[in-house]
Amino acid sequence: MIINSNINILGGLSEFELIKTFLIDSNSDKKSHLEYSDIRTLKAVKRFKKAIEESFISKDEDINNLFLGSIKNENIYENLYILFLLFSFNNDLFRHLNDSIFFPVYYSGRKIIKREEVESCLIELKKTSATLNSWSGSTITTTASKYLTLLKKFGLLTGVQKKEIVYKNLTSIEFLLFIYFLSIAEENSNKINSEWIKYSFYENEFFLQKILEKQLISYIEVQYNGDNLKLKPMINYDILYDTVKSS
């Protein structure tokens, strides 16, 4: 597991529009940092730029091509789910916390996630991680707090003192983008037991019902025989968004 401080950096980013700026303009750090009202130094702008690029630009070009159209053309706050998926894909620690804390709470029906739960998860991980082993108690507390802040920024938690789950219903476009994402992110050709399915916010049974609906037939070829699920995208990743929006 590769661990960095990007949860803390992005958790401190108050203006999410900066994410879009850096993702569509690689020269943004040459602009005056005064464009960003709460960032006062060029050094800070560069620090945010580095964290944003590491967090939302993947080494897998298919992933980048899949999501870039939506990021370019939609308000960043219409892309919070996509940002959540990208950060989960690109940041090992964020995904570990999602898998260990957020989704177990989400699917259990509980409503509240406590910072202490996240801290305990990090302390347990610290036993096997050389990187985390050097983190102080205050760094762990800060990271736990920033993790919950990020989930709130992604629209998945609400509240100030108590962080309460926001139950997510994907739009039809979000669900289609997720299926294409799943076809890439899950390396096993059989997607049925993929750990990524929970990121659709459906339990496996309901996910299967949804994916087998006929309205998706123009976009994805689905083969399912009861214990094997195969997905074959019908549209190139880089034009999927434009194709869906124009249909």
Q: Rounded to whole angstroms, how far apart are CA atoms 194 and 186?
A: 6
The pLDDT of residue 38: 63
Among 239, 228, 225, smallest CA distance to 180 is for 239
pTM for the full predicted model:
0.92
CB atoms within 10 A of CB 91: 23
Name which of 178, 170, 208 is nearest 192 in CA terms: 208
d(CA 68, CA 238): 8
Task: Determine the length of the chain.
Answer: 247
pLDDT given at position 129:
87
Instruction: Using alpha carbons only, give the angle 145, 36, 3 rounded to the nearest 5 degrees.
Output: 35
pLDDT of residue 35: 59
SS (H, E, C) 72-139: HHCCHHHCHHHHHHHHHHHCHHHHHHHHHHHHHHHHHCCCEECHHHHHHHHHHHHCCCHHHHCCCHHH
Task: Record the tokens describing residue 39, joined without a space.
Answer: 């960032």
Predicted confidence at residue 27, as pLDDT, reads 53
Residues of the chain with pLDDT under 70: 25-40
pLDDT score at 245: 84
What is the C-alpha to C-alpha distance for residues 150 and 171, in angstroms, rounded to an integer? 21
Q: What's the pLDDT score for residue 29?
A: 53
Residue 6, amino acid: N
| Tens-place pLDDT, residues 162-182 | 889 999 999 999 999 999 999
49: left (phi over 0), alpha (psi -120 to 50) or beta: alpha
pLDDT given at position 229: 94
The pLDDT tens digits for 212-226 are 887 888 899 999 998
- Beta partners for residue 164, in sequence order: 112, 158
Q: What pLDDT is recorded for position 55?
A: 94
Residue 160's pLDDT is 83
* pLDDT the model gives residue 32: 47
